[in-house]
Amino acid sequence: MSGAATSRRRFCQALDLVDSPALIAEYQRHHQRIWPQIAEHLRHQGILEMEIYRIGTRLFMIVEVSAEFDAERFAADSRNHPDVQRWEALMWQYQVATPWTPPGEKWVAMEQIFSLAKQ
């Protein structure tokens, strides 16, 4: 949870990339400007901010959501959104589940183990 305001929540997730410099570069190019309908879908669902970081083949994503964000509704709406499904199919060309990701899933939640604000 974000320490700045209780109306926002934060999720941190991990995912891996295919170990190919050419594919990693292509993946990053796709994220310089994502499809407008994907950005619209994310914002409509209550996602306030989303950042992805990379080191090697490991991705780290921080997602800040509004208090009204509903993860189950987001997942269902994403499954039923044709543009989201096309985007996800495209992204799977570059992505690989981490060793800790349950079968059939992509991004896996990370456990917070430290917070300076809680010290």
pTM: 0.89
Residue 8's pLDDT is what? 85
* R_g (Cα) of the chain, nearest Å: 15
Q: Which domains does the chain have, with CATH numbers?
A: 22-109 (3.30.70)
Calculate the CA 33 to chain-centre distance: 15
Residue pLDDT, tens place only, 30-80: 999 999 999 999 999 999 999 999 999 999 999 999 999 999 999 999 999
